[in-house]
Structure 1
Amino acid sequence: MKLSVVIPAYNEEESLPPTLRALYQTLARHGIPHEICVTNDNSKDGTLKVLQDLAANEIPTLVYFTNPGPNGFGYAVRYGLERFTGDCVAVFMADMSDDPEDLVKFYNKMMETNTDAVFGSRWGKGGKVIDYPPLKKFINRIANFIVKMVMGIKYNDTTNAFKLYKRETIEGIKPFLSPHFNLTVELPLKAIVRGYTFEVVANSWTNRKYGESKLKIKEMGSRYFFILMYCLIEKYFSRGDFRKKSAAPAAQTVSR
């Protein structure tokens, strides 16, 4: 099963080289067929030049796109999600906050269980955060608690972008609505509401070493709330119109 890794990048010329090298080396060492898809979100620094050099000289599985606009985290991820070629796809951050070894765990879990998606959790048993800003952590835990209560789910890290989806799952949760970081909530909640199966795997998170975070908390509250309400309305009022279609009996009996 070919793995695609979609990475949004805006002004990440310092973060991308160590991130992409570590990601490629890890996936190659584990023998995972893959492609690394970076969306250059119309960066103003040397991000594009970095991608050109790495693809030409170091990382043969690297492909990159430039999103001419509209720009924003959600748009950049969506640009990559329309262009990847793998059988499954992970959203991975350019700042190396996600651990490539955790991605290997996600991939292996999907292969073992044939689940439709694998979600990471930084806050349960086995999860870990390093240098997480206290205010950001406080807001994160409140936001995820609200999502859990409103949606009636047990999963405790919905807002984390780092997740793995089968191609069929991505196709089944379209169309996407979120232009910004609220896409991190839209993807898993739609998958859950529409009946796709998922497993939860503990993962780690490390604060960025270069550049600055693109997440502006003050700007995102109403956008997260909009997506949460959209998914809640779909859950109770769509009458199952968007739910995952059950496989035909014959397909279920095919040996692998």
Structure 2
Amino acid sequence: MKLSVVIPAYNEEESIGETLRTLHAALVAEGIDHEIVVTNDNSKDNTLGALEALAREIPALTYYTNPGPNGFGYAVRYGLERYTGECVAVMMADLSDDPADLVRYYRTMQAGGYDCVFGSRWIKGGRVVDYPAHKKTLNRVANALVKTLFRLKYNDCTNAFKLYRRHTMDGLKPFLSPHFNLTLELPLKAIVRGYSYAVVPNSWTNRKYGESKLKIKEMGSRYFFIMMYCLIEKHFSRGDFHKTKVTA
């Protein structure tokens, strides 16, 4: 089962090299057939130049420049329209997500035949390193609201780092979110539409370089829109959007 990893990158010149080398090495060491698909989201620094150099070093790397519109969600969606694997994960360019966790996701999907594998930083075995206190508070409040409204046991919907089979990702289209709210849209649609999923612990480490692209003040209404959209679908679609499952 070929694994695709989609990574959006905006002004990640300082981080992208370490991220891609570490990721590629971890997947090679595990013998996992893979590709890495990076979307350069019209970066203003030398991210593109770094990717050009890395492509000569990492044979599994393919990169694109998103001509626009730009934004986190658009960049991820650009990659999700171009990957070639049987399953796909979304990861960050700043190495905040651990490649060892991705290996665990992949093995869990293989062993259990799940449609999705979700990580949680907030269950036994999960951890966060240098997580800003105000973001942690908002994260826990937002995830508690999602858990309550959707009656879930899962407690980390807002983290982008998740793994989906191709037929599952295809079943979540069309995508609505142009920004970071895509991180909520994908798992909520998967859950509402009845795809199977496993939850495993994962870690998150704050970036070494650059600044976070997530602007919390700008995202509240967008997250709320996606949450309400998925809630309406849950209660009123009566399974109309549910896709036929395929077992690999």
TM-score by length of 1: 0.95
Structure 1 segments of 4+ aligned residues over 2 angstroms from their partners:
244-247
1:176 match: secondary structure: coil
Task: Classify 1:122/1:16 alpha carbon distance in 2 versus 1 (closer, same or farther; 3 Å).
Answer: same
Match in the other structure for 2:126: 127
| In 2, Cα distance between equivalents of 1:220 and 1:14 | 26
Deviations 1:126-183 (A, max 9, x none): 0000000000000000000001111111100000000000000000010000000000
TM-score by length of 2: 0.98
Amino acid paired to 2:123: G
Deviation at 1:246, TM superposition (A): 5.2
Task: Classify 1:246/1:17 alpha carbon distance in 2 versus 1 (closer, same or farther; 3 Å).
Answer: closer
1:97 match: secondary structure: coil
| In 2, Cα distance between equivalents of 1:135 and 1:195 | 33
| In 2, Cα distance between equivalents of 1:245 and 1:68 | 34
Match in the other structure for 1:96: 95
Match in the other structure for 1:225: 224
| In 1, Cα distance between equivalents of 2:129 and 2:159 | 15
Match in the other structure for 1:12: 12
The 5 A counterparts of 1:111-122 are: 111-122=110-121
Deviation at 1:245, TM superposition (A): 2.2
| In 2, Cα distance between equivalents of 1:9 and 1:49 | 12
CA RMSD of aligned residues (A): 1.0
2:163 match: secondary structure: strand
Count of residues paired in the alignment: 248
State, as a whole percentage, how many aligned pairs show the same letter.
72
Amino acid paired to 1:199: A
| In 1, Cα distance between equivalents of 2:239 and 2:196 | 16
Which has the greater radius of gyration?
A: 1
Amino acid paired to 2:128: V
Match in the other structure for 2:139: 140
Deviation at 1:239, TM superposition (A): 1.9
